[in-house]
């Protein structure tokens, strides 16, 4: 009877050992698969990192270009504002003598452009004065 009991125990021990070998091999395969997935993920992340670096570089160039364009536009707006500020001097002043002569029959002796006059605490600015 002992042989049968020992035989059963050996059979169970063999089954347990086979199950352990099976589980060990299954775990090893899962670890190999996980390692491959991790390598693939790492490669994808390196590619993504390179793409992000390229994107950041492009954005930096774009921002620099936009700053330059904005600076240029601000200069042009300033030039335009200055030009509009001299509109009376550029258009009205050259013809003011003739316009006064035709409209009022007066002889213009003197024309002043962009004249400033201080009257006490106050200061006044005139684009065109005809005397």
Provide the terminal-to-terminal Cα distance of the chain, rounded to the nearest Å. 143
Alpha-carbon Rg for the chain, nearest whole angstrom, is: 47
Q: Look at the pTM and tell me if it is higher than 0.85.
A: no
- Tens-place pLDDT, residues 24-77: 999 999 999 999 999 999 999 999 999 999 999 999 999 999 999 999 999 999
Tokens 């390598």: give the residue: 39
């Amino acid at each position: 009877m002992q042989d049968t009991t020992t035989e059963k125990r050996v059979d169970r021990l063999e089954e347990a050992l086979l199950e352990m070998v099976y589980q060990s091999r299954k775990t090893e395969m899962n670890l190999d698969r996980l390692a491959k997935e991790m390598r693939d993920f790492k490669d994808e992340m390196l590619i993504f990192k390179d793409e992000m670096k390229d994107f950041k570089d492009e954005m930096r160039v774009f921002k620099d270009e936009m700053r330059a364009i904005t600076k240029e536009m601000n200069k042009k707006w300033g030039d335009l504002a200055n030009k509009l500020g001299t509109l009376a001097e550029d258009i009205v002043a050259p013809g003011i003598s003739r316009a006064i002569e035709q409209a009022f029959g007066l002889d213009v002796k003197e024309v002043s452009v962009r004249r400033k006059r201080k009257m006490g605490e106050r200061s006044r600015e005139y684009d065109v004065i005809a005397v």
